Structure 1
Amino acid sequence: MKPKFRAYSETNKDMVSWGNLLNLNVSNIFRNPEMCGMVLMQSTGLHDKYGVEIFEGDILKIKDSRLAVYVVEWHRNKFMWVLRYQKDKNQYFPFYNISGPFLEDLEMLGNIYENPELWEVVE
């Protein structure tokens, strides 16, 4: 799998696709994205049930025992993708652990930058 990224432009408040990122000064964006007003997100290489590519920062709904909402994060200490549970931010599990019916029902709802309201805990 070739690494693939997208970025959220904090200046323009919009998502910059991989193709458009390649048209920008990529070396500056990858060296110091904060200085460029960008938040970089890497693709997990996985897709939801509709074929939408899943990136870091995406908010996912999984039809499991609780119809739960998770956010995709890179866990630096464990060096792997994890899903962090919306109602208990301390609870997460490895993204590679998803298989079978869970993966078939995985749906990308949005991302934490463009749709932060989806990540707020709903009581």
Structure 2
Amino acid sequence: MRKIKFRAWDKKRNEWFRHGELHLDMNGNVYLDCTKEPCNDRFDIVWFTGLHDKNGVEIYEGDITIQKLSNGLKREGVIEYGQSSFIVKGSDNSFDYLHNHYTLLQEYALEVIGNIHQDKALLETKQ
């Protein structure tokens, strides 16, 4: 069973949230500490996939990854949640399923190189 974890990008401060506590209700609303009003617009919640890259780094939704393909080429992608599992989506809209995909993680050496919040330039240079 995978550990349920998330991290939150604070859009107001442009940094990963580290101050106080965040609470999520059953409807996905985000509350800061014990506020009564949700603050969904301030935070972008990204979920832990339950998997780690080739270096042992936790893989989260929104992470930018690079993988070495069997033909020696490298392909970048972004971790997204599809209809039933996490996927690695390439800039050409191709994708690979990530859900417990041992081969993708080990054989193709998937590596987290950034995330969509802090490292947008990694994606812009490839398009």
CA RMSD in angstroms comes to 2.2
Matched length: 112
1:101 to 77, 93, 107: 107
Q: Which runs of 5+ in 1 are unaligned?
A: none
User: Within 2, Cα distance between the matches of 1:27 and 1:107?
Assistant: 29
2:21 to 10, 24, 27: 24
Corresponding position of 2:46 = 41
Indicate the percent of aligned positions where both proteins have the same amino acid.
29
Paired residue type of 2:43: M
How far the C-alpha of 1:122 sits from its partner, in A, is 2.3
User: Within 2, Cα distance between the matches of 1:70 and 1:34?
Assistant: 29
> Is the 2:62–2:78 Cα contact (8 Å) retained in structure 1?
yes
User: Within 1, Cα distance between the matches of 2:124 and 2:102?
Assistant: 23
Q: Which runs of 5+ in 2 are unaligned?
A: 31-37
How far the C-alpha of 1:35 sits from its partner, in A, is 3.0
Corresponding position of 2:67 = 62
Instruction: Describe the shift of the 1:121–1:51 C-alpha distance in structure 2 as closer, same or farther (beyond 3 A).
Output: same
Paired residue type of 2:4: P
Larger radius of gyration: 2
How far the C-alpha of 1:98 sits from its partner, in A, is 5.1
Alignment TM-score, normalising by the size of structure 2: 0.76
Q: Report the structure, 1 or 2, having the larger helix content.
A: 1
